[in-house]
Structure 1
Amino acid sequence: MMEEQISVFDIFKIGVGPSSSHTLGPWRAAERFVQFLRSENLLSQVVRIKVLLYGSLAKTGRGHGTDIAVMLGLAGYDPVSMDTSLIDSIIQDIHTAETLDLGNSFAIRFNPQEDIHFLFQESLPFHPNALTFQAFMDNGEAISQTFYSIGGGFVVTADESSLEQQRKNLPYPGQNAADLLKWVAETGLKISELVHQNELVWRSREEVRSGLLNIFRVMCECAYRGCHASGVLPGGLKVTRRAAALSEKLLAGAEYSDFDQWVEQIRKQGSGFQYTLDWVSCFALAINEENAAFARVVTAPTNGAAGVVPAVLLYYIIFCDGYNHDKIITFLLNAGEIGAIFKKGSTISAAMGGCQAEIGVSSAMAAAALTECLGGTQQQALMAAEIAMEHHLGLTCDPVGGLVQIPCIERNTMGAIKAITASQLALQANPDNAKVSLDEVIQTMWTTALDMNSKYKETSDGGLAVHVPISLPEC
């Protein structure tokens, strides 16, 4: 089997919530379809487009904003750079005018009620998250392409590998934790240092540094926004935001005007266990409340689990004296590699593996990164990742109403706290005495995913989604 090459920038993607596989992935698929039409000089000939959503994308599509995502992608908007405050008005205009500017170039007739089809009872064999775009031309011909959103914003066709980038000769290639340990034994390098050397094959040293610090910036901006935004989340569940009220309560009237001053005020208020615990929860709540509100977030490794890694990173920079660019880069490099190992050996798609593939993986990523940054050995970092995932095995994905809100938002707080606990356990342990390896827990996660009933894989057909008495007309 060909070795899969995954960059840290494949794991950490800047995008728009609420879901990497159901929002960001379909958005990117729509962009790819438009790019294909443009490359074939067909864009100006298109008179109508239909979108077919299959399986998991259909069952939770409206709650996850899949219909919104494909419209924005077809219209030429970029999830990294667009003004997210305009999303509601753009979508409303499409509905009202029944017109879409394909690729921001040619206006075509488009009625979302007629042209986006939710095929609840149909699934394609390659992956549960499938969508097909059909373009009808002015000469009567039609062309179609099918894409699969395989988790974390990754999008492929059935005949593609999971990554589009050109293969490189990496100095430290690997598919699993055993490969990492082999390179560690040969070189003595830390996990983050090995990953950094691989990244330099794809990008310059400055591009790696600036790119990771930009990821950190977006994470911080998201947390800060979420800690200052009140009200009710969209979608019909009427979930009240909690992070802002908690932040205000914890700071007890302290004054600040930007992120750095906010961080300083958090530090000044103390470092006791309960206080620290409240802030870790607050950071995770804030980010995933923003995610649920179609704001800009970073996949880590997914949108649904976007709060775990940043919450633990903020814990590190605020309560462990880690507010240093080099330390932040170390944290992200390590976390990204752990996410890549899970993707290679199992899945980061809840539609394939349940929530263990999202919150579980993000908790493992954060645990390993924190352990290295706190001075742990390479073996202790991998042990921390194993501990974190071991206690997420079998976690189901059962979003109420198909929305990334209940139980998703609170689950991020649980994942963050488990990551810190796993790190502390590993730092106080001798990895030579461990009975379970990271590779073994990843294999267990995958076999558990295969055994798991499909109703617990992001379909809203089981678990809380069917036992909580809520009826949403849009889902």
Structure 2
Amino acid sequence: MQREQISVFDIFKIGIGPSSSHTLGPWRAAQQFIQTLSDQHILGQVVQVKILLYGSLAKTGKGHGTDIAILLGLSGDDPVTFDVDRIDNKIADINNQHRLNLGGSQPVGFVKDEDMIFLFNESLPFHPNAVTFQAFLNTGRAVSETFYSIGGGFVVKEGESKSAKAEVDLPFPIDKANDLLHWCIKTGLKVSDVVMENELAWRSEKETRDGILNIFRVIHECIYKGCHTKGNLPGGLNVARRADKLNKKLLSGAAYTDYPSWIKAIREGGNGFKYTLDWVSCFALAVNEENASFGRVVTAPTNGAAGVVPAVLQYLIVFCDGFSEDKIIRFICTASEIGSIFKKGATLSAAMGGCQAEIGVSSAMAAAALTECLGGSQRQVLMAAEIAMEHHLGLTCDPIGGLVQIPCIERNTMGAIKAITASQLALQTNPDNAKVSLDAVVKTMWQTALDMNSKYKETSDGGLAVNIPLSLPEC
């Protein structure tokens, strides 16, 4: 039986907001479908395509940009490199011209209202996030494939059980937190060292380090841009951006020209509790305001929860003297392993588990990573992750208007603060006295997910989504 092998770069993916499961996943699925047509040498025979969206993808797809992502994916564009400033114009051209250029090379007629079908009342059994692509050829033949976006940008094609990533012999195979602790105790390695040793099974240490630093580059560029962008978020709720105003208020006119000098200016502004708390919130707001605006972000482990890990990492950099390549790499490696354990034992999909699967997991990842970088033991690292998730259990996903804005953006600030608190608690506690293990919390989270009413699983059928009039501002 094949074990699920998850790399740092599976948990942390560069993409475009606002949702990993509703935007990045469907985008990747569309790319895979085009690749299938190309591999079978029939792309040039396609005369029509239809897209069927099921379950959560149908109910909140437009608010999450699923329709936009699929059209860009079918057009052959890549979420890692596509210019986010070109999204509106490209989608407008497709809709106005009623033409879709499949894979960038095969033009077909396309009328969105007729060829993209939202099946609001139908759901496929494997996963609520399902999309079927149909291609009709000039020979009269039709080709159809169904994909499931299972959270965090991970995509599974119906009928395929194996991962697209080649299975390798990992020196430290890990399915549960107890496996990770076993290897740490046996070898004496830190959590991040165990992760790095496993990554060597796929690529060289330099490639891994360079890749992680590239992830960090996108993260800090996203934070910086979000802290310097004004206006309202798209989607119709007229939610005002707050990171820019908060950034200006906290800096009180301090001069800076780039990210490093900005860090210096923040440090020179103080380190009191309220000041630090405001900055952590500002960092998280910045990322998720960019995410809500179809900006470039990093799944951590999802887009809806993309601000938690970056905000806590930025806290480490600014307020804990963590601005070094080694600490940044250790932070991201540790966070990725915790995210991997949750994916294997539960889910990263809000459509399957509610927001505990997104904000809860991201808070656990950030808590563990911060604890590692502040000198915590391996047991304290796992304890921090457990504490953070324990206090997110049962968290629902009820986005107003199907948009990743209310309560999602503020919820990232809460997840970041809980992560820092969890880390501090773990660092001040003897983990030998802990009553709850990380594995027990993962198991509990999955059981809670199975018991949770579907209307609280990213459908906008319950909670705030049905109790707050769309005309009200975010509070």
TM more than 0.5: yes
Name the counterpart of 2:328: 328
| Equivalence map 1:334-373=2 (5 Å) | 334-373=334-373
Name the counterpart of 1:212: 212
Once the 2 structures are TM-superposed, how far is the Cα of residue 252 of structure 1 from its aligned partner?
A: 0.4
| Equivalence map 1:46-195=2 (5 Å) | 46-161=46-161, 163-195=163-195
Q: Distance in 2 between matches of 1:109 and 1:429?
A: 63
Q: Distance in 2 between matches of 1:307 and 1:352?
A: 21
Q: Distance in 1 between matches of 2:181 and 2:228?
A: 43
Q: Distance in 2 between matches of 1:98 and 1:445?
A: 45
Once the 2 structures are TM-superposed, how far is the Cα of residue 162 of structure 1 from its aligned partner?
A: 6.4
Name the counterpart of 2:455: 455
Is the contact made by 1:154 and 1:163 (CA closer than 8 Å) also made in structure 2?
Answer: no
C-alpha offsets along residues 293-345 of structure 1, whole Å, 9 cap, x if unaligned? 00000000000000000000000011000000011000000000000000000
Is the contact made by 1:228 and 1:243 (CA closer than 8 Å) also made in structure 2?
Answer: yes
Determine whether 1:202 maps to 2:202: yes
Name the counterpart of 2:469: 469
Once the 2 structures are TM-superposed, how far is the Cα of residue 471 of structure 1 from its aligned partner?
A: 7.0
Q: Distance in 2 between matches of 1:163 and 1:199?
A: 16
Determine whether 1:242 maps to 2:220: no
Change (3 A) 1:269 1:311: same
Aligned amino acid, residue 406 of structure 1: I
Name the counterpart of 2:223: 223
Q: Distance in 1 between matches of 2:161 and 2:216?
A: 28
Name the counterpart of 2:290: 290
SS at 2:222's partner residue? helix
Aligned amino acid, residue 97 of structure 1: Q
SS at 2:63's partner residue? coil
Aligned amino acid, residue 399 of structure 1: P
Q: Distance in 2 between matches of 1:163 and 1:245?
A: 44
Q: Percent identity?
A: 71
Name the counterpart of 1:383: 383
Is the contact made by 2:2 and 2:162 (CA closer than 8 Å) also made in structure 1?
Answer: no
User: 5+ residue gaps in structure 2?
Assistant: none
| Equivalence map 1:423-442=2 (5 Å) | 423-442=423-442
Moved more, 161-170 or 412-421: 161-170
Once the 2 structures are TM-superposed, how far is the Cα of residue 13 of structure 1 from its aligned partner?
A: 0.2
SS at 2:160's partner residue? coil
Change (3 A) 1:395 1:162: farther
In the alignment of these two chains, the number of paired residues is 472
Is the contact made by 1:19 and 1:303 (CA closer than 8 Å) also made in structure 2?
Answer: yes
Q: Distance in 1 between matches of 2:433 and 2:23?
A: 43
Once the 2 structures are TM-superposed, how far is the Cα of residue 82 of structure 1 from its aligned partner?
A: 0.8
SS at 1:51's partner residue? strand
Once the 2 structures are TM-superposed, how far is the Cα of residue 141 of structure 1 from its aligned partner?
A: 1.4
C-alpha offsets along residues 77-122 of structure 1, whole Å, 9 cap, x if unaligned? 1100011000000000001000011100111101111111000000
SS at 2:261's partner residue? helix
C-alpha offsets along residues 340-364 of structure 1, whole Å, 9 cap, x if unaligned? 0000000000000000000000000
Is the contact made by 2:145 and 2:158 (CA closer than 8 Å) also made in structure 1?
Answer: no
Is the contact made by 1:360 and 1:392 (CA closer than 8 Å) also made in structure 2?
Answer: yes
Q: Distance in 2 between matches of 1:35 and 1:246?
A: 45
Moved more, 104-113 or 54-63: 104-113
Once the 2 structures are TM-superposed, how far is the Cα of residue 159 of structure 1 from its aligned partner?
A: 2.6
Once the 2 structures are TM-superposed, how far is the Cα of residue 158 of structure 1 from its aligned partner?
A: 2.7
Once the 2 structures are TM-superposed, how far is the Cα of residue 469 of structure 1 from its aligned partner?
A: 1.2
| Equivalence map 1:7-18=2 (5 Å) | 7-18=7-18
User: 5+ residue gaps in structure 1?
Assistant: none
Q: Distance in 1 between matches of 2:139 and 2:188?
A: 64
Aligned amino acid, residue 12 of structure 2: F
SS at 1:107's partner residue? strand
Is the contact made by 2:55 and 2:120 (CA closer than 8 Å) also made in structure 1?
Answer: yes
C-alpha offsets along residues 122-160 of structure 1, whole Å, 9 cap, x if unaligned? 000010000000001112211100000000000011332
Change (3 A) 1:231 1:162: farther
SS at 1:201's partner residue? coil
Aligned amino acid, residue 248 of structure 1: K
Aligned amino acid, residue 76 of structure 2: G
Aligned amino acid, residue 392 of structure 2: H
Is the contact made by 1:401 and 1:471 (CA closer than 8 Å) also made in structure 2?
Answer: no
* 4+ long deviations beyond 4 Å: none
- TM-score when scaled to structure 1? 0.98
Q: Distance in 1 between matches of 2:161 and 2:86?
A: 34
C-alpha offsets along residues 264-302 of structure 1, whole Å, 9 cap, x if unaligned? 100110111000000000000000000000000000000
Name the counterpart of 1:398: 398
Is the contact made by 2:384 and 2:422 (CA closer than 8 Å) also made in structure 1?
Answer: yes
SS at 1:261's partner residue? helix
Q: Distance in 1 between matches of 2:159 and 2:337?
A: 26
Is the contact made by 1:155 and 1:162 (CA closer than 8 Å) also made in structure 2?
Answer: no
Is the contact made by 1:354 and 1:394 (CA closer than 8 Å) also made in structure 2?
Answer: yes
Q: Distance in 1 between matches of 2:452 and 2:333?
A: 31
SS at 2:132's partner residue? strand
Determine whether 1:268 maps to 2:268: yes
Q: Distance in 1 between matches of 2:426 and 2:161?
A: 35
Once the 2 structures are TM-superposed, how far is the Cα of residue 174 of structure 1 from its aligned partner?
A: 1.2
- TM-score when scaled to structure 2? 0.98
Aligned amino acid, residue 400 of structure 2: V
Once the 2 structures are TM-superposed, how far is the Cα of residue 256 of structure 1 from its aligned partner?
A: 1.1
